[in-house]
Structure 1
Amino acid sequence: MSSLADLVPEEYPWACPRVAGVLRAGRFVPHPDPVREVPPGGRAVLAVGSNASPTVLATKLPRASAIPLLPAELHEVAIGHSAHVSRRGYLAAAPYACRGARTPVVLTWLSADDLAALDATEPNYERITLADLGGSVTLALGRSEMPDPREVDLYSSRHGLISHLHSPEQHNSDHRDRDVEHDGHGPDGAPGAHPLPLMPQGELFALLAGHGELAALLGGSPAQVCARLAGDPAAREHVRRILSRGACDPRAGGASEA
């Protein structure tokens, strides 16, 4: 299996398993029915971003004995980008309520110890239940059961979602006359805001670089942008504060355009 260093930040989100399997001793092995490998008392956790990568999970949870991973489909919840910058310089994924959405994800099951360890790696997210977003999930492998949304967790951004208000035209018109700047500690719930969908880092940087305040920091190739932000904590904080203006509450909801 590749190492975390092989996962370059500009290519986030990284490849996730297309088949069911089990992560054991740092290696992902296909398994016809990984649900049989669920640890006693294991908690179902949806992975919508980097945690769907076996390489990332193996790095975050080196002591895990076995982690089942199963492709699944999320209903009434879509994926966008958290309104903060990761330490490696990319803009990470985050879920939000979205009527009519159907989203491919990876479902894992973690022991209590592994779940606590994973929580410790997610300071920018809070773990909530799928029911909190009004969603549901169906499993792959032709399984008919639908897990109780109250018994399935996922990580929701503490910063809100990057919204369409961060596009150059919308942001310049909607925020020009604001007298008070949002303090940047969470979504400000701007009326009419809706999240931008998950997209490749290069596309997202190019879109956001059209915003005058972000042009200098997000201009250039995706690799250059990630390296610039990864090497400058103050720049990451500056971008986060700008993105927090107009950020969407993940529970506020929207409607799928599909």
Structure 2
Amino acid sequence: MRPPGPGEDRSLRALGLDEAPRDRPLLYPGAWPAESGLLVGDRLLPLDGPVHEDRVPVLAIGSNASPGQLRHKMAGFGITSPIPMVKARVTGVDIGVSAHVSRLGYVSASPVSAPDTVRELFVIWLDAEQLAVIDVSEGVPLPMGNFDRAWLPARDVRIEADGVVLSGAYAYVNRHGVLHNGTGAPRTHPGQRALLTELLVRSARLRELFGVTPEEFCARARADRRLCERGTRLFAEEKWVTASGLERYVDGSRTEGPGTA
């Protein structure tokens, strides 16, 4: 890691990366860095090297690529250790829409299989303690949690950073499935305001539950577990839900992925 330049302010606030979607749901997925960096507390420092052998790689699809959100997640467990965030070229995965309503007040992103799609995404390299925190935040340990952690192998998902191709990476696959685009194929996430506006226009039943504007949706959903569960069921009842295409990797993670617990 090279040091910051003289007088260079690398705070998240100065970089425009400090706000977290958990506090302002319509910002979801939050601001992503312009380049790779090392998240240390409330600073994002320059980072040397795309691979960190003592950690495991996790493909960030939504707010896990937001330094402000990551900082909040770790601070909730008193964890202050640095997190390398590596910008990568990813082939085989796109950013879909989770078929559940989050108690944080938004409809989150989920990875979907997209063999011909190339995306610039972030890989966050986590130690065992940090990985456990992200697992908890995604509901992995809970029987009724929203996500499973799956190992995506390089034979199916190519992840290249600074000329290095990873052997694979973990991703969080939604247990509820994802929303489709009307033809049965997974749709892509357009950003929170655009997504909620479209969904509310399409469904009178959704408007009855969550109001007629994205602001109302976020305010009503936030911290209301029963309402979020009702909204999640409504997605299925409206027949908006399909598979992500990544479900087959969930069981394989028990044998293929590193750092499993």
Give distance in 2, aligned partners of 1:132 and 1:158: 23
Are 1:18 and 2:34 an aligned pair? Answer: yes
1:226 matched residue in structure 2: 218
Q: Cα deviation per residue 1:28-67 (whole Å; 9 max; x = unaligned)?
A: 2233x1547x3x6200111110110111111112314211
SS of structure 1 residue aligned to 2:204: coil
Structure 1 Cα separation of the partners of residues 21 and 199 of structure 2: 26
Number of corresponding residues = 219
Contact 2:93 2:157 in 1 (8 A): yes
The answer for the alignment partner of 1:200 in structure 2 is: 191
Verify the 8 A CA contact 2:21 2:63 in the aligned structure 1. Answer: no
Counterpart of 1:71? 87
For 1:108 and 1:60, the matched residues in 2 are separated by 14
Residue 83 (structure 2) pairs with residue 61 (structure 1): no
1:133 and 1:207 mapped to 2: Cα distance?
Answer: 36
Q: Deviations over 1:110-155 (max 9, x none)?
A: 111211121111111111012299321111xxx2221012xx1111
Stretch of structure 1 that moved more, 43-52 or 129-138: 129-138
Report the counterpart of residue 138 of structure 2 in structure 1: 122
Does residue 242 of structure 1 match 2:231? Answer: no
* 1:86 equivalenced with 2:77 (yes/no): no
In structure 2, the residue corresponding to 1:213 is in which secondary structure? helix
Other-structure match for 2:5: none
Structure 1 segments, 4+ long, off by >6 Å, are none
Query: Are 1:251 and 2:211 counterparts?
Result: no
Separation of aligned partners in 2, 1:232 and 1:122: 17
Shift, 1:232, TM fit: 3.2
Question: Distance between the aligned counterparts of 1:3 and 1:203, measured in 2?
Answer: 19
Give the distance between the partners of 2:225 and 2:175, measured in 1 at CA: 18
Q: 1:6 to 1:129 in 2, by over 3 A?
A: closer
Q: With structure 2 as the length reference, what TM-score do the two structures score?
A: 0.76
Post-superposition offset of 1:72: 1.1
Q: C-alpha distance in 2, partners of 1:114/1:105?
A: 19
What is the percent sequence identity of the aligned residues?
30
Q: Give how far 1:221 is off.
A: 2.8
Unaligned runs of 5+ in 2: 1-11, 13-17, 140-145, 248-261
Q: Is the 2:21–2:29 contact (alpha carbons within 8 Å) kept by the matching residues of 1?
A: no
Instruction: Give the TM-score normalised by structure 1.
Output: 0.77
Aligned residue identity for 1:122 = E
Deviation for aligned residue 1:237: 1.3
Change (3 A) 1:132 1:146: closer
Q: 2:155 & 2:23 partners in 1: Cα distance?
A: 30
Structure 2 CA distance for aligned equivalents of residues 24 and 34 of structure 1: 16
> How has the CA–CA distance of structure 1 residues 6 and 117 changed in structure 2, closer, same or farther, with 3 Å as cutoff?
closer
Query: 1:79, 1:94 within 8 Å by CA — same for their partners in 2?
Result: yes
RMSD: 2.3
Query: Counterparts in 2 of 1:21-60, with a 5 A limit?
Result: 21-31=37-47, 33-35=48-50, 38=52, 41-60=54-73
